[in-house]
A and B are shown apart, each in its own frame.
Chain A
Amino acid sequence: MQTVKSASELGALHTRLNAARDPKRPLVTVCGGTGCQASGCMKVAEAVRDTLGGDPKLAGKIDFRVTGCHGFCERGPLVVVHPQGIFYQQVRPEDVDEIVRLSVVQGKPVERLLYRDEVSGKTFTRENEVPFYKNQQRLIFGMNGQIDPRSIDDYIAIGGYQALAKVLTQMKPEQVIDQIKKSGLRGRGGGGFPTGIKWETCRRAEGIRKFVICNADEGDPGAFMDRSLIEGNPHSVLEGMIIGAFAIGAREGWVYIRKEYPLACDVLRNAMAQAREYGFLGKGILGTAFDFDVRIRRGAGAFVCGESTALMASLEGRVGEPRAKYVHTVEKGLWNFPSNLNNVETWANVPLIINKGVEWYARIGTGDVTGDAWGGSKGTKIFSLVGKIRNTGLVEVPMGISLRQIIYDIGGGVPDGKRFKAVQTGGAVGGLHT
């Protein structure tokens, strides 16, 4: 692959890759996320590959893709047959032959593998009809199902790196910051700090070096959305970081990621290598004068390292002990240089905002952020819904939605007619709601 040297070259590449993805062409996708791996999805993926490849009538005519997490891990392994979009859950390798014969060849569903609602007894054929998904708004996470996270071409085909091209060729850093401020994006890592204000502070801070950092430590017990985002769509996080670095004036980036997430580390490393090869990381990004690159540091398991000062100490290779709060890391962070830390999901929202525009983005979510960055919170949030609830998994909903809607409309309520007792939000650092 040649490097992409300009926005127009990227545009041409996008057109070519997108044209190759005929939406009418048969395609089988298998979820390959960590959750589904725990229920044996790789054997299912192998069976699909063998069955498709072993039949001369099918070989070469049916596309096959292993994707990242769909959020409904509890029901894994998950298989989706396109173009019909037939959604299968709890698939075993033995089921694959029937899926191929019936669904892929004839377009008919295999009834027994469809999702069945326990209460009403109804079955659902398509993913977005299933109650768990129907009430979600999967702007960030929905892309996982459309791409192979190990393929940068897949990401480009669905519009990836267009936001970066726009920013580098049509915008000034201050304009980018202004857009992020107006969007009403706030940090997804727990603190909820307005992202644009943080970027602005870091841009204005003095320093001969500056850093942007991605917090993928995800120390909250019960949470796994950051991991699933990196595993399922690593380029969206990288693209957000590159845009942020341009806006802030940073040339070096770090991703601090939990060692307990080996698949995420591997997928991210692969994505970084591809981005470098295409010229989205490194020197002279997209043929402009902007240089930026990212490195990975694996966290070694200490809950406190998700906190910004401890995280930076750990990045420096020291013991991750939080330091006094009166020194702000945006001004004096990593090796005392201005450092902008954002959560994985925060970064992943950035390309979406640039692509769709501030007006569109600010319509999703709650409150009013014109004039007061703390007056509301925009966009969606991915939650992990776990515990004694009918449907568990990762759900993405607009900011400001009620817990009742999440637990009953998406989670299906508490099983066995028990009463709803308590819900913990934001993991251990959040509160307990009853």
Chain B
Amino acid sequence: MLQVTIPIEKVDGIIGAWGGRREALIDILQDIQDVARYLPRPALEHLSKELAVPLGEIYHIATFYKAFSIEPKGKYVVQVCLGTACHVRGGRLLADRISHDLAVKPGKTTGDRLVTLETVGCVGACALGPIVTVNGEISGKMTQPKLVSMMKKWRG
């Protein structure tokens, strides 16, 4: 199982890089998530102390914005675009297929923490829809067969 956390020194480094400014909270959270792949509670507790922002407010922000996750994510974070252009080209069916084959609901991670399935709004490559991104890398003109072979690859 993949375990990722973030050492407190690293959190301090990120806070420092943003000059310890309260207004940079969202940037700081993004940088923490880029390292840890989610927002671990100890990191947020530390942040709360350093920036003097109540933990409740940090959690409010962390749950308001879709980009943040307070649960650990899988090794492969798979995003299926359900923006208008991808939707009319079958994006929904792709999400359903992953959901079905890997037994994972959108927004959730498989039990073995291999795959996190997310559905997202337009990622800005509409002309090539339907779009699926894996760990940030965009694949266009996705088809069911292409998807099946991708899933096979993830399972190793």
Whether the Cβ atoms of B127 and A386 lie closer than 8 Å is yes
How many A-B pairs with Cβ below 8 Å? 110
Q: Would you call A301 an interface residue if the criterion is a C-beta within 8 Å of the partner chain's C-beta atoms?
A: yes
Q: Would you call B148 an interface residue if the criterion is a C-beta within 8 Å of the partner chain's C-beta atoms?
A: no
Chain B residues closer than 8 Å to A300, beta-carbon distance: 26, 29-30, 65-68
Asked whether A223 and B127 contact (CB < 8 A) given A301-B67, A319-B64, the answer is no
Q: Would you call B151 an interface residue if the criterion is a C-beta within 8 Å of the partner chain's C-beta atoms?
A: no
Interface centre among B21, B126, B129 (most CB of A within 10 A): B126
In the assembly, what is the distance between CA of A318 and CA of B123, in Å?
Answer: 24
Whether the Cβ atoms of B23 and A316 lie closer than 8 Å is yes
Residue in chain B with minimal CB distance to A73: B127
Chain A residues closer than 8 Å to B124, beta-carbon distance: 34, 218, 223-224, 227-228, 260-261
Q: List B76-103 residues whose CB lies under 8 Å from chain A.
A: 83-85, 88
Q: Chain B 98-120 against A: per-residue CB contact (8 Å), 1 yes, 0 no?
A: 00000000000000000000001
Q: Chain A 53-90 against B: per-residue CB contact (8 Å), 1 yes, 0 no?
A: 00000000000000000001110100000000000000
Q: Would you call B32 an interface residue if the criterion is a C-beta within 8 Å of the partner chain's C-beta atoms?
A: no
Whether the Cβ atoms of B121 and A34 lie closer than 8 Å is no
Q: List A410-434 residues whose CB lies under 8 Å from chain B.
A: 424, 427-428
Whether the Cβ atoms of A38 and B85 lie closer than 8 Å is no
Whether the Cβ atoms of A222 and B83 lie closer than 8 Å is yes
Q: Would you call A314 an interface residue if the criterion is a C-beta within 8 Å of the partner chain's C-beta atoms?
A: yes
Q: Would you call A390 an interface residue if the criterion is a C-beta within 8 Å of the partner chain's C-beta atoms?
A: no
Chain A residues closer than 8 Å to B67, beta-carbon distance: 259-260, 300-301
Q: List A335-384 residues whose CB lies under 8 Å from chain B.
A: 384
Whether the Cβ atoms of A74 and B66 lie closer than 8 Å is no
Instruction: Name the contact of A34 in the complex, choosing from B21, B30, B60, B138 (C-beta under 8 A).
Output: B138
Chain A residues closer than 8 Å to B4, beta-carbon distance: none
In the assembly, what is the distance between CA of A74 and CA of B83, in Å?
Answer: 16
Whether the Cβ atoms of B61 and A318 lie closer than 8 Å is yes
Q: Would you call B140 an interface residue if the criterion is a C-beta within 8 Å of the partner chain's C-beta atoms?
A: yes
Whether the Cβ atoms of A35 and B88 lie closer than 8 Å is no
Q: Would you call A332 an interface residue if the criterion is a C-beta within 8 Å of the partner chain's C-beta atoms?
A: no
Q: Chain A 4-44 against B: per-residue CB contact (8 Å), 1 yes, 0 no?
A: 00000000000000000000000000000011011100000
Q: Would you call B147 an interface residue if the criterion is a C-beta within 8 Å of the partner chain's C-beta atoms?
A: no
Residue in chain B with minimal CB distance to A315: B23
In the assembly, what is the distance between CA of A220 and CA of B126, in Å?
Answer: 12
Whether the Cβ atoms of A222 and B85 lie closer than 8 Å is yes
Whether the Cβ atoms of B68 and A38 lie closer than 8 Å is no
Q: Would you call B24 an interface residue if the criterion is a C-beta within 8 Å of the partner chain's C-beta atoms?
A: yes
Q: List A229-284 residues whose CB lies under 8 Å from chain B.
A: 259-262
Q: Chain B 116-156 against A: per-residue CB contact (8 Å), 1 yes, 0 no?
A: 00001111111111010000101111000000000000000
Chain A residues closer than 8 Å to B71, beta-carbon distance: none
Whether the Cβ atoms of A260 and B120 lie closer than 8 Å is yes
Chain B residues closer than 8 Å to A259, beta-carbon distance: 30, 67
Instruction: Name the contact of B65 in the complex, choosing from A228, A261, A301, A386 (C-beta under 8 A).
Output: A301
Residue in chain B with minimal CB distance to A72: B127
In the assembly, what is the distance between CA of A218 and CA of B24, in Å?
Answer: 21
Q: Would you call B46 an interface residue if the criterion is a C-beta within 8 Å of the partner chain's C-beta atoms?
A: no
Whether the Cβ atoms of B125 and A73 lie closer than 8 Å is yes
Q: Would you call B10 an interface residue if the criterion is a C-beta within 8 Å of the partner chain's C-beta atoms?
A: no
Residue in chain A with minimal CB distance to B82: A221
Q: Given contacts A301-B65, A302-B64, list 20 more A-B pairs with CB under 8 A.
A: A34-B138, A38-B138, A38-B140, A39-B128, A72-B127, A73-B125, A76-B128, A220-B122, A222-B122, A223-B122, A227-B124, A301-B67, A317-B21, A319-B60, A319-B61, A386-B85, A386-B126, A386-B127, A392-B85, A394-B127
Nearest 6 pairs of A and B residues by beta carbon: A300-B65, A224-B124, A301-B66, A221-B83, A386-B85, A317-B25
Instruction: Provide a sorted-by-A list of 20 A–B residue pairs whose CB atoms are within 8 angstroms.
Output: A34-B124, A35-B128, A35-B140, A72-B127, A74-B128, A221-B85, A222-B83, A224-B124, A224-B125, A259-B67, A300-B29, A300-B30, A300-B66, A300-B68, A301-B67, A301-B121, A302-B66, A318-B61, A319-B60, A427-B84
